[in-house]
């Protein structure tokens, strides 16, 4: 009957606060995206020092895929747990404490990165973290970067505890009830996240942070890289599962129907829980020091991970069709016309789903072990993931914001037509940018490269020309940035809008096939967690043991390559000279 903010005003404030951090990160990230497209296509010489490009790219990667996505999804998870259990958080102080930890982590890592735009700071000297979001050693960032990252992740762990706690208390009061689907989705996602983040936590806390502080002289670059990808693949599902959640919960509702099947939604989330982690080595198909057998196992697991996505495609389309038919849609394809295309939340999510299908195809190429030689680290790869995280996730989050904001503020959406233009513009811009990136990658043009033009050779385009591809990338990037600008206008406009009483109810309708059709075992989170852990142990024990056996825990030698650590040197000098204020 009522909006979310009326039912849970304090929680609505938490969610709004998380969303706002997310949107600021999006704004910063998108601006960097624009600079990248203009510079690396040669359209416009943005940086007189091409090295600055990598500070920009680190900002783009970290602010978008760590801050924008995760800040948004913790907000969504608070909403999902509180609405579906129909109870507020157990302790608001506890909730704000993880919010605080995540903020502190974001600030530390963010400052370390952004400080790289200035060469020399008073007192602390050179602070920067131009290591990109993968921070592969021996490239070394300022310790503040690693520290921020660690604190941020601990913050998400505490947030997970908050949601488990809500569920636990609810379960004592409702011992015979099934876990409501939205809460089930949150819990399975968080279980996956706990397992996945172990990799990066060990990499950062045991190796990279002490190393950046000078406590360790060397690290094993292959080991820290493998631990990164232990986390780096499943983090993709940490972004994607909330987007799927929106497709399962909001999309059917907005289409005017009901979710097709509750049991299958549960199966999908369980598959993600157990299959997301033992696949990370597919990012290391071309790494020396890992045997072909381990790569093959990761490839097989990866392919089975297609299953939950393919099942989702079915359920989502079936639920939309059901909704359209409720609205009077008819015919084989005629029902498509009956969908609420005028609703930006619907249209955005539907377009996001469509692009995800395209991203799925290029993903199958990436995952195809020996086919990967052709595309690895080429421009094809960002072409691929701007369809997945950059659209399936990002556009779904933006589109669902149009549904969430009125719920969270009690204010009407600022401008529906503008919001509609925004989601369509994203689709058009991404079509240009992503398609051209894929094609450029097939010519051998590398990713993560400020000026991909060389003295000794040129890239040969079979169809069209490199210039034409560059023009499309720059055009696409410009449209995308414009789209983000419009998104921010709508968000700010809504926040400033007057209160309205005509906002639809936030209650999610019951699925067509409800939880009573789900076997009880699906809710046995312990069982699925154990299976997930066993699979991870099977997939990772031998590769990690072999890497450590070959190169040692701290690697076979080598040095650190600080992307600048002058500040520590300066501090050390000040300390030894006694000039440091006490």
Partner 1 sequence: MNVHQYERYWLIAALVLIVAIIATVTYGAVGIGIAMIDDSEETVDPDALGEHERFSETGTHQVGENEYEVNVIAWQFSYEPGGSPDPPIEVPAGSEVTFYVTSEDVIHSFSVVGTNVNTMVIPGEVATMTVEFDEATEYGLLCNEYCGELHHDMEGEIIVHPEEEFDLFEIPAVDAPEQVDAGEEAEITVTLANERHQERSTTLAFEFDGDEQREDVTVDGESTEEVTFTVDTTDLEDDDYSWSVTVEDGMERTVDESGQLTVGEPEED
Q: 125: helix, coil or strand?
A: strand
Query: Is 376 a residue that touches partner 1 (CB under 8 A)?
Result: yes
Site for ligand HEM in 443-462 (CB under 6 A): 447-449
Task: Candidates 21, 22, 23, 61: give the one binding ligand HEM (CB under 6 A).
Answer: 61
Four-point Cα dihedral 265, 268, 274, 277, nearest 10? -120
Least distance from Cu ion to the Cβ atom of residue 434, Å: 17
In whole angstroms, what separates CA 421 from the centre of its chain?
Answer: 24
Q: Is 519 in the site for partner 1 (CB under 8 A)?
A: yes
Residue 566 found at the interface with partner 1 (CB under 8 A): no
Q: How far is the CB of 281 from ligand HEM (least distance, A)?
A: 19
Which of 326, 435, 497, 513 binds partner 1 (CB under 8 A)? It is: 513
Q: How many CA atoms lie within 13 A of 24 on its CB side?
A: 10
C-alpha span between 229 and 223 (Å, rounded): 10
Query: Closest CB to partner 1 among 265 and 355?
Result: 265
Interacting span for ligand HEM (CB under 6 A) from 53-61, 70-78, 185-193, 453-461: 53-61
What, of partner 1, Cu ion, ligand HEM, none, does residue 233 touch, CB below 5 to 8 Å by kind? Cu ion
Cβ proximity to ligand HEM: between 276 and 378 the closer is: 378
Binding of residue 388 to ligand HEM (CB under 6 A)? no
Site for partner 1 in 213-242 (CB under 8 A): 220-222, 225
Residues between 347 and 366 with contacts to partner 1, criterion CB under 8 A: 364
To which H or E segment does residue 561 belong?
strand 561-562
Does 523 contact partner 1 by CB under 8 A? no
Instruction: Characterize the bridge pairing of strands 561-562 and 139-140.
Output: parallel
- Binding-site member from 158, 161, 287, 571 for partner 1 (CB under 8 A): 287
Return the residues of window 186-245 that contact Cu ion according to CB under 5 A: 233
Q: Which does 383 bind (CB under 5 to 8 A by kind): ligand HEM, partner 1, Cu ion, none?
A: none
Question: Would you say 487 and 29 are in contact if contact means Cβ atoms under 8 Å apart?
Answer: no
Cβ–Cβ < 8 Å for 181, 262: yes
If one asks whether residue 33 binds ligand HEM (CB under 6 A), the answer comes out as yes
First and final C-alpha spacing in the chain: 60
How many other C-beta atoms can be found within 10 angstroms of the C-beta atom of residue 100? 14
CB 411 within 8 A of CB 500: yes
Stretch that binds ligand HEM, among 295-303, 315-323, 389-397, 556-564 (CB under 6 A): 389-397
- Asked if residue 142 binds Cu ion (CB under 5 A), the reply is no
Q: Is 412 in the site for Cu ion (CB under 5 A)?
A: no
CB 387 within 8 A of CB 430: yes
Q: Does 413 contact ligand HEM by CB under 6 A?
A: no
Task: Confirm or reject binding of residue 65 to ligand HEM (CB under 6 A).
Answer: yes
Residue 94 DSSP symbol: H
3-state SS assignment for residue 180? coil
**93 catalytic residue (yes or no):** no
CB 5: neighbour CB atoms within 10 A?
22
Shortest CA distance to 129 belongs to which of 137, 117, 115, 141? 141
The C-alpha atoms of residue 335 and residue 323 are separated, in whole angstroms, by: 9
* Number of Cα atoms under 13 Å in the Cβ half of residue 7: 18
Cβ of residue 261: shortest distance to Cu ion, in angstroms? 27
Give the DSSP per-residue string, 2-13.
--HHHH-HHHHH
Binding-site ranges for Cu ion (CB under 5 A): 233
Binding-site ranges for ligand HEM (CB under 6 A): 30, 33-34, 36-37, 40, 57, 60-61, 64-65, 68-69, 132-133, 382, 386, 389-390, 394, 447-449, 477, 480-481, 484
Residues acting as catalytic residues: 233, 237, 384-386, 447-448
């Amino acid at each position: 009957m009522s909006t979310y903010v009326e039912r849970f005003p304090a929680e609505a404030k938490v969610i709004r606060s998380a969303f706002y951090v997310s949107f600021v990160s999006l704004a910063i990230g998108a601006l960097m995206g624009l600079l990248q497209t203009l510079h690396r296509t040669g359209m416009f010489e943005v940086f007189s020092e091409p090295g600055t490009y990598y500070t920009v790219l680190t900002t783009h990667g970290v602010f978008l895929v760590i801050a924008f996505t995760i800040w948004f999804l913790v907000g969504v998870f608070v909403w999902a747990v509180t609405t579906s259990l129909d109870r507020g958080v157990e302790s608001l102080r506890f909730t704000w404490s993880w919010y605080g930890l995540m903020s502190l982590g974001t600030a530390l890592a963010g400052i370390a990165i952004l400080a790289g735009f200035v060469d020399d700071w008073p007192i602390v000297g050179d602070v920067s973290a131009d290591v990109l979001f993968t921070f592969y050693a021996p490239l070394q960032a300022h310790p503040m970067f690693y520290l921020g990252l660690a604190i941020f992740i601990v913050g998400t762990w505490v947030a997970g505890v908050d949601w488990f706690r809500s569920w636990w208390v609810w379960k004592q009061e409702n011992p015979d009830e099934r876990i409501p689907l939205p809460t089930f989705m949150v819990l399975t996602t968080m279980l996956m996240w706990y397992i996945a983040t172990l990799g990066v936590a060990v990499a950062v806390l045991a190796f990279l942070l002490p190393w950046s502080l000078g406590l360790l002289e060397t690290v094993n670059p292959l080991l820290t890289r493998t631990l990164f990808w232990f986390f780096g693949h499943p983090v993709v599902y940490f972004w994607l599962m909330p987007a799927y959640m929106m497709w399962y919960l909001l999309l059917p509702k907005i289409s005017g129907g009901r979710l097709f099947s509750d049991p299958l939604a549960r199966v999908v989330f369980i598959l993600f829980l157990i299959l997301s982690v033992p696949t990370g080595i597919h990012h290391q198909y071309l790494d020396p020091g890992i045997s072909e057998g381990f790569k093959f196992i990761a490839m097989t697991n990866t392919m089975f991970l297609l299953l939950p996505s393919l099942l989702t495609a079915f359920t989502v389309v079936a639920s939309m069709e059901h909704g359209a038919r409720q609205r009077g849609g008819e015919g084989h394809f005629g029902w498509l016309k009956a969908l609420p295309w005028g609703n930006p939340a619907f249209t955005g999510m539907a377009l996001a789903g469509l692009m995800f299908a395209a991203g799925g195809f290029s993903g199958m190429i990436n995952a195809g072990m020996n086919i990967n030689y052709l595309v690895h680290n080429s421009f094809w790869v960002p072409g691929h993931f701007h369809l997945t995280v950059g659209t399936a996730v990002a556009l779904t989050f933006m589109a669902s914001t149009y549904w969430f904001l009125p719920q969270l503020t009690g204010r009407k959406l600022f401008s529906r037509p503008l919001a509609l233009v925004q989601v369509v513009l994203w689709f058009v811009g991404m079509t240009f940018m992503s398609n051209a990136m894929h094609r450029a990658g097939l010519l051998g043009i590398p990713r993560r490269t400020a000026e991909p033009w060389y003295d000794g050779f040129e890239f040969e385009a079979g169809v069209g020309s490199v210039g034409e591809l560059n023009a499309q990338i720059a055009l696409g990037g410009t449209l995308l940035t414009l789209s983000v600008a419009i998104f921010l206008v709508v968000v700010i406009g809504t926040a400033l809008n007057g209160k309205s009483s005509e906002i639809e109810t936030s209650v999610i309708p019951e699925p067509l096939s409800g939880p009573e059709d789900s076997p009880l075992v699906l809710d046995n989170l312990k069982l699925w967690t154990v299976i997930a852990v066993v699979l991870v142990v099977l997939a990772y024990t031998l590769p990690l043991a072999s890497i450590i056996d070959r190169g040692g825990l701290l690697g076979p030698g080598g040095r650190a390559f600080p992307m600048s650590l002058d500040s520590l040197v300066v501090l050390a000098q000040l300390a030894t000279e006694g000039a440091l204020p006490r």
